Structure 1
Amino acid sequence: MSKFEVVEICAGAGGQALGLEKAGFEHALAVELDGNACNTLRANRSTWKVAEGDVADQSVWHPADYSEVSLLAGGVPCPPFSIAGKQLGANDERDLFAWAVEQVSVVQPRALLLENVRGLSMPRFAGYRQHVLDRLAELGYVAEWQLLQASDFGVPQLRPRFILVALKPEDAPYFHWPTHVGEPPTVGETLLDLMGSNGWPGAKAWAKQANKIAPTIVGGSKKHGGADLGPTRAKRAWAEMGVDALGIADAAPSNIDTFAVGPKLTCEMVARIQGWSDEYQWEFTGRKTSCYRQIGNAFPPPVARTVGDAIIDAFQHKGDPRKLETSDHDPVYKALRSSHDFTTPERLMKAAQISDCAEFERRIGLLSRDFEIEIKIRGNKSYYKLGSFKAFVGQDNHDRHDLFLKRRALIS
């Protein structure tokens, strides 16, 4: 078998890394900002090269040094796209998605794998997604987006993840998105042994009550303080399963503990729900809150493995090739991009097959959040032209640099 090396950016504490390793990739480099997560990576894989710092800082690593690596992968920050946040997208100093895509022109990997939250799949970011597809096509790659549910791959948690995979044309027809592998275990089945490990007599009864899969684990950020299991709706779902979601426990319940709602989960339990297990063994370093964030913000290892398996299968041209289809995410963006001058709304609407003026203006409004939209008024008529992409792609004079330095202590 050929050697497949991966450079992983925004590697976190190793969820994606472990899954890709299980699939058959060897890490040439892992880059991560958080020092605690870096310590976890080093503690688990002492032979890996781990670069600590801002992934976009050339003093931390040089992308050109890893030219033609098999895979460039990463879980770039989620807050710019999260439904729970402001969805600032290209205007968020934490947004590294466009920057990561641009590194393909430098590294020229055989494949690209980026994962993020479901929010990136929403209509708000249709233009952003279209720009990414078009840019990768310019660089000679065939790219696709897919929403995968962690629960479809044996993880006892909802956790939808929006995945981008791009491959070179000779490999792309052989890439098949992984499919459902069976029903996941319930939270009770997953955690029964851990809940009973300190002699708590209520463990079996609790496991029967916790007979569902978990809501999406939310790792949280340094900006929002300590660890808990998510927003109000998630806390209600946890309470129905007999779990106190207001914090993380230091240890499993003992035979003298009583609860109004139920016990809190430990970091070890949360890691189990994220997909770490006897098959995916991993140790987390640091204090409790830091460990929880490392676990909660991770890409579940079993999901990363299935995607990694599919990429290696594509490299090896396994299975039958499929017909590749063009995916249009934002026809208004495409109409603007194909016009090199100011264009009337009527022409844009016709090209985008939109008949409702209000819908057209709504789409233009969404696009203007991530792109400069130039407007000229001639008489009583407006003309539109697509301007520059607002996202950080490596520009020396981008606002991202000052904002990142100002807020670095709160970025996680």
Structure 2
Amino acid sequence: MTSRTKSTAKRGPGVGTSIELFTGGGGLALAMHEAGFRHLLAVELERRACGTLRANGAVDYEDGSPLPKSLADRWPLRQGDVREVSFDRWSDEVDVVAGGVPCQPWSLGGAHKGFDDPRNLWPELFRCVRETRPRAIVAENVKGLLRPSFKPYYEYILRELSAPFEQRVDGEDWHDHDKRLVKALRANDAHLTERYDVKYKLVNAANYGVPQMRWRVFVVAFRKDLGLADWQFPEATHSELALQHAQDSGEYFEEHGISMRDELLPEVLPVHDSKPRWRTLRDATRDLPEPVGDYVEHPDWLHHVGWPGARQYPGHTPNDLDRPAKTVKAGVHGVPGGESVVRLDDGSIRYMTVRETARVMTFPDSWRLDGPRGEQMRQLGNAVPVQLGRVMADSVAKALKQATGEKA
């Protein structure tokens, strides 16, 4: 894989094994790998995303090929529809099933079809769980999953994850299946290896060291026989208040060699919370030079290409260098301004380059994205920020080690 990947190869087989579903451009997969999980399979449908995974070392999976033995081995990639993949081969070989379940059915910017959307692939995650019986599950999705109109179905998702072997039968309405799940969970008579302790949390990536305001829902489940019902999500590591204090004292502006900006600060600041400060867009891109020109890649920086036509609209203001970036989105949603535009110190605006956007998503600079700019940006907008995924993956790895008596 990348040079960063090579640095973990000395850890041998790693902390466990994983199957990556809906792998996309590889954000969560890279995070799981860096946490020490050895990928047995990565599944992805989109051609360009598969190109990205191959460009960073993945290799096409062939039926009957030996399983990877160490973190140095390439990720086996299956390009195609997850609904056509049988996971029986990996039964009882998998520690974690992980994936960012496609967000279009639930996104605030989408058509809001939810469970009626054919792109609702939660059922495929449940099928993978039934066929592989992993010790843990890590799933990520957009904030829209918590929309009040979707609450009944979301609660159904959590119950189905708690009892994935109470399988929905052909032709059964999900409401009827949900009633069966409620009854089965109340009975509490299933084998512990067929039940999971499930927890979810809405998190802001900025609170975990990502230079971006990005709200996402994480769902983490541990098989009940592991005794991890008390596991809790990692606490926030960074804070907005700490950034405000650093800017109020002038420390932040002195660090960057720029003038203070009083308009960023509230009139009254609470006492410092002792956390590290939120990372800003300026923090993430401070060592990057300006693009050398439109459609021209910088000779020293991969994917650092200028792009013309940046404008701003009401409600689509540019990113501020001295705040975390806005949420990176998979599409421009009809306007060429806002989330992918930055206001520079001289007051001018321009599009962020793909490299700058990848920095905001905390991908390493060596991570090569396949396709034209639009496809590269779409992959980034659909990804899990690597740093956020790493925080979750590390916590899951620590819990699994504790459950098996290993040193965390």
Aligned to 1:162: 217
Q: CA separation in 1, counterparts of 2:338 and 2:100? A: 28
Q: C-alpha deviations, 1:313-366, integer Å up to 9, x for none?
A: 111127xxxxxxxxxxxxxxxxxxxxxxxxxxxxxxxxxxxxxxxxxxxxxxxx
Q: CA separation in 1, counterparts of 2:209 and 2:284? A: 11
Q: Closer, same or farther in 2 for the Cα pair 1:28/1:237, shift >3 Å?
A: closer
- The one-letter amino acid paired with 2:280 is T
Partner secondary structure for residue 30 of structure 2:
helix
> For residues 3-152 of structure 1, what are the structure 2 equivalents within 5 Å?
3-46=15-58, 47-57=74-84, 61-68=85-92, 69-138=94-163, 139-152=194-207
Deviation at 1:208, TM superposition (A): 12
1:175 aligns to 2:268 (yes or no): no
- The one-letter amino acid paired with 2:52 is T
1:288 aligns to 2:373 (yes or no): yes
Q: CA separation in 1, counterparts of 2:107 and 2:20? A: 22
1:310 aligns to 2:395 (yes or no): yes
Deviation at 1:209, TM superposition (A): 5.8
Aligned 8 A contact 1:174 1:317 in 2: no
Higher relative contact order (CA 8 A, sep 6+): 1
Q: Which runs of 5+ in 1 are unaligned?
A: 200-206, 221-227, 244-257, 319-412
Q: Closer, same or farther in 2 for the Cα pair 1:54/1:111, shift >3 Å?
A: same
- The one-letter amino acid paired with 2:371 is G
Q: CA separation in 2, counterparts of 1:174 and 1:316? A: 15
Aligned to 2:314: none
Q: Closer, same or farther in 2 for the Cα pair 1:20/1:174, shift >3 Å?
A: farther
In the comparison of the two structures, how many residue pairs are matched?
A: 285
Aligned to 1:353: none
Q: C-alpha deviations, 1:235-280, integer Å up to 9, x for none?
A: 45776x517xxxxxxxxxxxxxx998412111111101111246xx
RMSD: 3.0
Partner secondary structure for residue 116 of structure 1:
strand
Of residues 269, 276, 282, the one that matches 2:356 is: 269
Aligned 8 A contact 2:329 2:339 in 1: no
Aligned 8 A contact 1:171 1:315 in 2: no
Aligned to 1:210: 321
Deviation at 1:128, TM superposition (A): 1.3
Partner secondary structure for residue 350 of structure 2:
coil
Aligned to 1:242: 343
Partner secondary structure for residue 103 of structure 1:
helix
1:219 aligns to 2:330 (yes or no): yes
Partner secondary structure for residue 287 of structure 2:
helix
Q: Which runs of 5+ in 2 are unaligned?
A: 1-12, 59-73, 164-193, 239-276, 294-317, 404-408
Deviation at 1:171, TM superposition (A): 4.1
Aligned to 1:194: 288
Aligned 8 A contact 1:175 1:313 in 2: no
Aligned to 2:66: none
Q: CA separation in 1, counterparts of 2:159 and 2:280? A: 41
Q: CA separation in 1, counterparts of 2:320 and 2:347? A: 15
Aligned 8 A contact 1:175 1:310 in 2: no
Q: CA separation in 2, counterparts of 1:93 and 1:300? A: 26
Q: CA separation in 2, counterparts of 1:286 and 1:171? A: 45
Q: CA separation in 2, counterparts of 1:103 and 1:129? A: 19
Deviation at 1:86, TM superposition (A): 2.3
Deviation at 1:123, TM superposition (A): 1.4
Q: CA separation in 2, counterparts of 1:38 and 1:95? A: 20
Name the TM-score, length of structure 1 as normaliser: 0.63
Partner secondary structure for residue 193 of structure 1:
coil
Name the TM-score, length of structure 2 as normaliser: 0.64
Deviation at 1:3, TM superposition (A): 4.4
